[in-house]
Amino acid sequence: MSLLTQPLSSRRNRFKDRAKASSPRRLRLPALRLDWPALRVQSLWFLLCAAPLGALTYALDRPVRVVALDGDFQRVSPAEIEQAVAPYLTAGFMSADLDAIQRAVEILPWVDHARVQRRWPAGLHVTVVEQTAVARWGEAGLLNTRGELFVRAAAHVPAELPRLSGPDGTEARVAAQYLATESRMLENGMRIAALRLDERGAWEMDLDSGVTVRLGRRDVAARLDRFIRTASQVIAHRAGDVAYVDMRYSNGFAIGWKRAAAPGAPAPHSDDPAV
């Protein structure tokens, strides 16, 4: 018998059966029962343990009486460290915020990093590592070994440091180029007095002999190699007469003399001396 020929009541019953079969079943979860006596015992044990610990912490949180300092202190004075630490000594031995004290010390200009420790029974120990300045930046800035500008206007700038310069934001790049170049120059008996990166991306360096070496923008490493291998040998005995050596040539270099052109000066072919 087809669905159309079945009685209406039979079809309704069939739809009801389907609806019952598809309806979701309700699950009954077991009732949650708390073991109140056990919870009270656990809470009591917690209080019994926490109370002595809190009392011990309170007893140990005595005023800080001694601040010991450790470091070379060539550029940072102990008085500066003590002044940075002083605002945090109102807290006790246990409640002193060591991280905050460390940050206060590390913001001092010549401090590279610091470590703060508690020393029983009522003291703090502060270890300070100073920055190592490898070069000047501009007029009075100082760069560390990571190429970071850690002082923008130093009151005292070591005169022996080379002077680096470049557009804002290029400190790390110029410092990296200096460190890579200086080691090679020292191996060949020369020192860099200054290294410059201009707005166009061209490099130029001054040697401590007074000679300026123009390296340009392209093939800087190859031009530096050629200067060390050939040009430096040519000017070795006449550096006092040389104003600059221009390495921005495809197959040679040019020498600029401080006075009139000296005899024997090379006349290289230039492909584009402005790059």
Q: How far is CA 66 from the centre of its chain?
A: 32
Q: Return the bridge partners of 242, or none.
A: 257
The more confidently predicted of residues 117 and 38 is 117
- The two structure tokens encoding residue 41: 């015992």
pLDDT score at 156: 83
144 belongs to a structural domain? yes
- The pLDDT-based confidence of 2 (bands split at 50, 70, 90) is very low
One domain for residues 238 and 165:
yes
Q: What pLDDT sits at residue 8? A: 46
Residue 172 CA to residue 147 CA, distance in Å, equals 4
102 contacts 88 by C-beta, under 8 angstroms: no
Residue 154 binned pLDDT confidence (cut-offs 50, 70, 90): confident
Quote the CA–CA distance of 54 and 63 in Å, as a whole number: 17
Mean of the per-residue pLDDT values of the chain? 82
Which of 52-56, 162-166, 206-210 shows the lowest per-residue confidence on average (mean pLDDT)? Answer: 52-56
Q: Which domain holds residue 206?
A: 135-257
**Residue 152: inside a domain, yes or no?**
yes
Please tell me the predicted confidence (pLDDT) of residue 40. Answer: 63
Whether residue 119 sits in one domain with residue 174: no
In 3D, which of 242, 220, 222, 221 has the Cα closest to residue 232?
242
Same domain, 250 and 141: yes
Do 249 and 165 belong to one domain?
A: yes
Residues 251 and 140 in one domain: yes
Q: Are residues 171 and 115 in the same domain?
A: no
Count of structural domains, the chain:
2
- Per-residue model confidence as pLDDT tens digits over 210-266: 999 999 999 999 999 999 999 999 999 899 999 999 999 988 999 999 985 555 545
* Shared domain check, 239 and 198: yes
Question: Are both 109 and 190 inside the same structural domain?
Answer: no
Looking at residue 274, what is its pLDDT? 46
Mean pLDDT of 200-204: 97
Query: Is the same domain home to 91 and 175?
Result: no
Number of residues assigned to the chain:
275
> What is the helix (H) or strand (E) element at residue 243, kind and residue range?
strand 242-246
Residues 143 and 87 in one domain: no
Domain assignment present for residue 2? The answer is no
Question: pTM for the whole thing?
Answer: 0.68
Q: What is the pLDDT of residue 271?
A: 46
Q: Are residues 73 and 143 in the same domain?
A: no
Whole-number Å distance between alpha carbons of 94 and 60: 7
CATH of residue 166 = 3.40.50.11690
In a domain, 275, yes or no: no
Residue 156 domain-assigned?
Answer: yes
The reported pLDDT for the residue numbered 212 is 97
* Nearby residues of 213 by Cβ (< 8 Å), 6 or more positions away: 204, 205, 206, 207, 227, 231, 244, 245, 247
Mark whether 252 and 167 lie in a shared domain: yes
Per-residue tokens: 42: 């656990």
The domain boundary residue, chosen from 98, 115, 130: 130
| Cβ neighbours for 76, distance < 8 A, ≥ 6 positions apart | 108, 110, 111, 128, 130
Q: 15-30: per-residue pLDDT in tens?
A: 455 545 455 556 564 5
Question: Does 71 fall in a domain?
Answer: yes
Q: Give yes or no for residue 153 having a pLDDT over 50.
A: yes
Residue 49 has pLDDT above 60, yes or no: no
CATH classification at residue 119: 3.10.20.310
Among residues 86, 91, 87, 82, the alpha carbon closest in space to that of 60 is found at 91
With a cut of 60, say whether residue 11 has pLDDT above it.
Answer: no
